[in-house]
Amino acid sequence: MRCAYLLFLGLLLSLTTEAVPQNCPEGFVSTNKKCKDENECEFENPICGDNAVCYNTNGSYYCQCELGYQEPSGKVNFTQEESKGCKDVNECSKMTDFCGPNSKCTNTPGSYFCTCKEGFVSSNGETKFYASQGVTCKDVNECSKMTDFCGPNSKCTNTPGSYFCTCKEGFVSSNGEKKFYASQGVTCTDVNECSKMTDFCGPNSNCTNTPGSYFCTCKEGFVSSNGEKKFNGSQGVTCTDVNECSKMTDFCGPNSKCTNTPGSYFCTCKEGFVSSNGEKKFNGSQGVTCKDVNECSKMTDFCGPNSNCTNTPGSYFCTCKEGFVSSNGEKKFNGSQGVTCKDENECEFEDPICGENAVCYNTNGNYYCQCELGYQEASGKVNFTQEESKGCRDMNECSKMTDFCGPNSKCTNTPGSYFCTCKEGFVSSNGETKFNASQGVTCNDVNECSKMTDFCGPNSKCTNTPGSYFCTCKEGFVSSNGETKFNASQDVCTRDESLCGEGDCNKSEDGHECVCKKGFTNYGFKTMKCTKPNNGLLSQYYPEVPQLLPVMEELRNSFQKLSGDQDMSKRVSQMDGNTLLERFLNALDELLSAGPLNNNKKVTTVLEITENFLKVLGPLLSNITKSSACTEVNTLLWRDNAPPHGPFILSTSDTQLESHWETAAGDSYKGFAAVSLLSYNSLENSVNNYFNHIKIQEDETLKINSKVVTAVVTNPDTAQLRERIILTFSHLQQPSDRNQTCVFWDSSLDGGVWSTNGCSVVSSDANHTVCSCSHLSSFAVLMALHEIKDVFQLKLITWVGLSLSLICLFICILTFHFVRSIQSTRTTIHLHLCISLFIANLVFLAGITQTQNEVCCSIVAILLHFFFLAALCWMCLEGVQLFNMVVLVFNTTVRPLYLMLGGYGVPALIVIISASINARGYGTKRHCWLNLKDGFIWSFFGPVCIIIVVNVFFFLITVWKLAEKFSFLNQDLSKLQKIKSFTITAIAQLCVLGTMWIFGCFQFEGGSLVMSYLFTIFNSLQGVLVFVMHCLLSKQVREEYARILTSLCAPQKKKYSEFSTNQSSKSQASRSIQHTGESNI
């Protein structure tokens, strides 16, 4: 509506204007006779003046000051005439905080602007702003602008609108002011706290300056009181000395001493040691060791004359040489003590050093002993020491010669001496009863008839004879005893007080009898001297041989009764020695007939019991020879008051012992002497292994080649005889050479072994060996067995034969594998039999002598062990197959798995077990085969024998069943004929393979060259024989060979050949269906 009005008004005006005259009102201008508004704002000279804005109106105008300016009168709209001009408005003067806190207002002509004060920034990010924008000024954190805003080692502290810099603790500003600005170029330099004072950190400490700080450490050898390595001087920490020596026992090392010092320590070697660097003091970290100082090497007589210096770690000690004693009485002393070694008089020892019956003579630093007159050292030495001697034994002067004391005299040996007495009827020329041979005393006949008139009694006549006399009755008288000559009776007990030994001598009608004291015996012989029985040898208990215990108990009881044990006399009856010996031999038979003794300790026990039994039983025996199933014994006995003299010979059927009665009786004669020689018939089987202490050559083994014998005498000292005994042994078999060894059973070595000590061979021939020994024990003769040497002929046979066998076996393998017409279970067995023999022979040829490398040699031996066993197992499986065909209703099929387990699994199991038990049994120094020692070879021969026995068993049953089936008409006669031929072939094969290893069993003994040739021939040609038996003798195989040869030799007849081959294969196929598929012979 308003717009329409205005439009109308404008139209009216325009009409009116056209009618206005030329004089236009102010503010208008005439144009084309019309008054038009004059735009004053477009005048050349601005009508409103500076800093004002002109606004045109219809017929007029008005001015307004530009923003930031104000008309002095305060008008907003004005004209030129009304105004004095627009003057700048100072907005900044309106109020203090016109722009806001922390800002600055800057007036400008016609305007202003706000800026934030230094250190502040606008909230809109603009440097200049207006108050009306609501912009605020926020503090600028100068310190956050950059890390080192104030510079290195300084700290920036922000303040509202500003900041200030300070140096970090330990630094100082370069201008000396605490606070500064980054723009001043001030730097912070380090304050060296350590230079402030000498002991800044305290005593025994080190001050270390660091940029802006410092730290204290204790000097080496000191430790801080707070336990920290680094500390501050203001903490009150002190440094205390570290006692390095208390850290561990051997801080400085073995044989050294650690000495602590303030802040350090030093090491010194203990007395008797010297440092390896030659310095007295050293540090534990230097690796210096303290070596023993050998004081004894400083000078020859470091400890003084007649002394020995012995170095010890860190010290030494002196001892006087043997035969000297120290002057201070100590055994060990020091060279600095001034001790001297003076001769020790060994002869003044409380216990005589030379023993009984010897005289000691002291020498400088030594001594020597001499036996007293009448005694002799066992080895025959005149001068000897305690260590060299076995004691002075009585010298039996009476045994030197028959008439040592002279004619008609009797020599009686006493401990250390002897005395001579005249025989009955003689008297000494010096009137003494006892005299010495060196006195020149003679024994003159005593004229008993001159003693008294009626010496022989009334009515008798006395006739003197040399050394005796006799009485006769005068004519007309006759003697009361009926004898023509008689003697006046005398009491022998008064003539010889030692006649009964440890017993009482009583006169009897027969002369005298001895009554023994308790604990002594004359073994039931009343005229024999009484001695203490040696039944202590029977006191030991032997549970491992219960068979011998009862007879030992009987012998023990008999001796207790003989020794005067009244209680025992009531409980047991006295047995004679021969009965006890017979019982003992029966007990030995029971023990030895049970089989070989299982170990050397048991053998030792049996031999010791036998020796002790015979030694104790000796005086109860007589001259006797007894034999039983397993033993033979011969015994000699001397029983007289006078000791025996001269040689004796004792024999069994296989052995002879030669010695002297002096050896049997010994130095302490007890009125009897017994010698026994016992031979064992089968004991050599129990002791054929224990040769560990006998040196033999590399290719030798040892074997007992005689009966084992035990020689026993009553002499208790038989370890070293004065005169050697002679033993002659008969050989069990003739040796190949005369290399025999005399041995005895030494029970002191390893529980019992054969030893040669003290025994030597005197002579040896094909049948006997003579041994000489210096002691008594159990003896035997050893024979050396030699391995058969490789001779050229054997090698040649082996190489040629095995080469032929390998060719034949290879042809067999091809035949059994590729010829289809003969394929069957039996052919499979033959195939693997040939494969096993082929590999075994090939390994034998290539590796049997490759002994240089032990590991390779062992592998060769293991392979040979496995494949030879495998060949025999496949041979055994053929016997089982034939058994199945005949006995189990002609069952010809065996599962291949079972065949493989039997053919290869069983040998593998045997080899694994053998190698686990004795891995070193594979390979010898000469051949890569099983070791013959310790019976390891039987890990092969054992299974071989079992396989042969099993095969023979199956073949016997098979032949028996075949005989039954042939005894009546059978519709399967052709099959029976075939099985019969198979059986004959298998038996022949068993003979070939089995016989070879039977001959191989005889390869243990030297000289078996014939067996070696037989074994070599059979072994090398077994492949050829297998080829002949299973291929050449088989009609079916021969036909196949002929067909193959025909096709090879006639290539021009190709068409015919193809037709023939086709027909032949059909024929073979039909034949395979009709028959069992087995080969014909």
CA–CA separation, 24 and 876 (whole Å): 159
CA distances from 404 to 113, 440, 744 (A): 166, 11, 38
**pLDDT tops 80 at residue 739:** no
CA distances from 1020 to 552, 797, 847 (A): 60, 7, 15
Least-confidence region, from 520-524, 758-762, 915-919:
520-524
What per-residue confidence (pLDDT) applies to 742?
Answer: 92
| The total number of residues written for the chain in this structure | 1081
What per-residue confidence (pLDDT) applies to 1055?
Answer: 39
| Tens of pLDDT, residues 810-835 | 998 998 888 887 888 878 888 998 99
CA–CA separation, 347 and 360 (whole Å): 5
Closest Cα to residue 618, out of 519, 516, 745, 716? 716
What per-residue confidence (pLDDT) applies to 596?
Answer: 84
Q: Between 9 and 507, where is the model more confident?
A: 507
Q: Which domains does the chain have, with CATH numbers?
A: 22-89 (2.10.25.10), 93-140 (2.10.25.10), 144-191 (2.10.25.10), 195-242 (2.10.25.10), 246-293 (2.10.25.10), 297-344 (2.10.25.10), 358-394 (2.10.25.10), 396-445 (2.10.25.10), 447-488 (2.10.25.10), 533-786 (2.60.220.50), 792-1074 (1.20.1070.10)
- The one-letter amino acid at 305: P
- The one-letter amino acid at 704: I
| Tens of pLDDT, residues 354-411 | 888 889 988 888 888 988 887 888 777 888 888 888 788 878 888 777 788 888 888 8
CA–CA separation, 72 and 87 (whole Å): 7
Q: How many helices (H) and strands (E) does the chain have?
A: 17, 58
Whole-number percent of the chain with pLDDT over 70: 81
Least-confidence region, from 142-151, 372-381, 661-670, 691-700:
691-700
Q: Which of 232-241, 909-918, 982-991 has the highest mean pLDDT?
A: 909-918
Closest Cα to residue 583, out of 632, 550, 534? 550
CA–CA separation, 258 and 243 (whole Å): 10
Closest Cα to residue 728, out of 677, 772, 778? 772
**pLDDT tops 90 at residue 935:** no
DSSP letter string, 449-480: GGT-TTSS-TTEEEEEETTEEEEEEPTT---T
**pLDDT tops 50 at residue 1079:** no
CA–CA separation, 568 and 553 (whole Å): 12
Tell how far CA 182 is from the center of its chain.
83
| Tens of pLDDT, residues 65-76 | 887 788 888 888
Closest Cα to residue 1038, out of 1069, 1067, 1079? 1079
| Tens of pLDDT, residues 29-54 | 888 878 888 888 888 788 888 888 99
- CB contact burial 744-761 (16+ within 10 A = b; e otherwise): bbbbebeebbbbbebbeb
User: Which stretches does DSSP call E strand in 655-724?
Assistant: 655-660, 672-680, 700-704, 708-713
What per-residue confidence (pLDDT) applies to 573?
Answer: 41
| End-to-end Cα spacing for the chain | 148
Compute and round to an integer the Cα radius of gyration of the chain.
67
Closest Cα to residue 934, out of 721, 582, 692? 692
> Coil, strand, or helix at residue 61?
strand
DSSP state of 682: S
**pLDDT tops 60 at residue 939:** yes
**CA atoms 140, 141, 147, 151: torsion sign:** positive
Tell how far CA 756 is from the center of its chain.
31
**pLDDT tops 80 at residue 658:** yes
Residue 560 tokens, joined: 């207790």
Q: Is residue 779 within 8 Å of residue 742, measured between CB atoms?
A: yes
> Coil, strand, or helix at residue 953?
helix
**Residue corresponding to tokens 């015996």:** 521
What per-residue confidence (pLDDT) applies to 221?
Answer: 81
CA–CA separation, 29 and 19 (whole Å): 15
CA–CA separation, 258 and 269 (whole Å): 9
